[in-house]
Chain A
Amino acid sequence: MENFLHFLSDWSEIWALLIPLAFMLRYKNKYAYLKPVKGYIWVALLLNTAATLLWKFKVNLGFREGDFFWSNNFFYNIHSIARLLFFSWFFILLHQPFLVRLKKAIPLLFIVFVLVNFIFFEDFFYYWSFSGRLLSLETGLLLIYCLQYYFFVLREDHSEDKRPPSFWVVTGLSIYAVVNFPIFLFYMAFVKQFENFAINIWDVTNMAFTLFCIFLAKAFYESKH
């Protein structure tokens, strides 16, 4: 049973994405703001498939320790950048008249951070780990986006019986960011000092990612009406 759960967790980065993908292909919708989410699902599926296959079959693929492709960590860095950019686009497309400048500035500031960080401080293709700094900043920024969404909803006078698809996207994203922010913040320290804990806590990350995908599927399901 434990082995099966581990197997599920190991492959969850791929199969979890198939849930929203199925709903996305099944239900066509008219919401323009879901376009970035669709784009994210395709890109995430591509990156996660590459990262998981490389991790599982690196020996079969003929890579040796020390080879560039022996580590799949850079895929997580790319995924992190892609996620923030796609969801920034999503929040901008919601056209909520609240903190508009901040929402537009976040992706630009993030790109500046990525360039400065990886030119001067960190190696983008660092062999032993992905960049904890990059991923924690990304989840922190996503959390800011999510909070401003909820504050806007709170301030709004109008309320509807049915929650819009955007609510489900943001809730899924919030859960993912809330769980992963502290993990990514200390991840480098875990890798150095508690390798086993770092490996085990990745299951929590995978669970949060699966929940996030289920919420995305719910958003596509709700968008069918």
Chain B
Amino acid sequence: MNPNTDIRYLVIIGIAVMLLLFTSFLVALIFSQRKKLKYQKSMDKLREHQQNQLIEAAVRSEEQERHRIAETLHDEVGAILSSAKLHLLGIKAAVLDERDQKLHEKGRELLNDVIGKVRGISHNLHSNILKEFGLNEAIRHFIRKVTEGAFLNATTALDDNYQTENPDNDISIYRMVQELVNNILKYAHASEFLISSTLDSNVLNLVIFHNGDGLTQEQFEELRYQKEGLGLKNIQNRVILLKGNIHFTRGEEGYRINIHVPVSTSLKVEAKQDTAN
């Protein structure tokens, strides 16, 4: 091999070696990135799991607290109020003069009123109907109660194929509905209101429609990070907990809130739809 030929070989070998080095470097880089990505994904999963655990703990403790307050109201405050009513009723009204009779009557009315209110709050916090009769009945009862006497045409069309298998999930769905309906009654000034549900391949689809001033998805995303949007944040937390999703849309006829929640449920043969006004 003469020295002149060596230069050509040297260049060819040089190109080959450099290409080989570069390819090895690139492969090592790609493998390292994949490893990093895998680690990142596992960390994200762990973080998500921890976040879900925190949300679950917060939601459960909130529920326990509600339960405790409801029990205290019902068993202690309610009992004291009932006792006070009994004592009041023990007074012989006939012996009182006209002024005292009126005061006695007014006191009795106020006491009845406050007993009713305490019972209402207690039931609202405790959600006995939810436990005894299921999610659909609890929603119907809640809608009937909150729209009573309001200038609002409320309709419920709930899919009775849905059967509760996880009561904790139902509590979360019920609380979301409560919060959303209360918000609509408070801020939307709607005259028409509809809540419907369908069960489709183990996914419960809830739709809340109203013709007032509602929220768009952008407004929801913005509000839930604000101090005033605590209720919306709670809704979002419950959606995360249920591994579902919520979407706010604005249509020509009004605003729509779609909630999709994956549920594990068995199907009932009979389906029932009802309308409440």
Contact = CB atoms under 8 A, between A and B. Distances in A.
A168 B11 CA distance: 26
A126 interface: no
A114 to B, nearest CB: 25
Interface in A172-216: 174-175, 178-179, 181-183, 185-186, 189-190, 193-194, 197, 201, 204
A53 B4 CA distance: 33
B11 A150 contact: no
B33 A159 contact: yes
A185 B14 CA distance: 11
Contacts of B187: none
B18 interface: yes
Interface in A70-101: none
Given A178-B18, A178-B19, A182-B15, A159 B4 contact: no
B19 A179 contact: yes
Dominant secondary structure at the B interface: helix
B8 A150 contact: no
Contact of B11 (A158, A160, A171, A183): A183
A186 B18 contact: no
A197 B7 CA distance: 11
Dominant secondary structure at the A interface: helix
A159 B36 contact: yes
A65 interface: no
Interface in A129-147: none
Given A154-B32, A171-B26, A159 B15 contact: no
B277 to A, nearest CB: 51
B4 A154 contact: no
B29 interface: yes
Contacts of A175: 19, 22
B33 A179 contact: no
B40 interface: yes
Contacts of A193: 4, 7
A194 B19 CA distance: 24
Given A158-B40, A171-B26, A182 B18 contact: yes
Given A158-B40, A159-B37, A160-B37, A179 B15 contact: yes
Interface in B2-56: 4, 7-8, 10-11, 14-15, 18-19, 21-22, 25-26, 29, 32-34, 36-37, 40
A181 B37 contact: no
Contact of B8 (A153, A157, A171, A194): A194
A117 B113 CA distance: 100
B29 A153 contact: yes
A2 interface: no
A161 interface: yes
A86 B10 CA distance: 31
Contacts of B11: 182-183, 185-186, 190, 201
Contacts of A157: 36
Contact of A204 (B7, B15, B36, B37): B15
Interface string A35-67: 000000000000000000000000000000000
Nearest to A198: B8
A14 B173 CA distance: 64
Nearest to B5: A194
A150 B36 contact: no
Most buried by A among B4, B33, B34: B33
Contacts of B40: 158-159
A124 to B, nearest CB: 25
A12 B50 CA distance: 57
The 7 closest A-B pairs by CB, nearest first: A182-B14, A159-B36, A159-B37, A178-B18, A178-B22, A159-B33, A182-B11
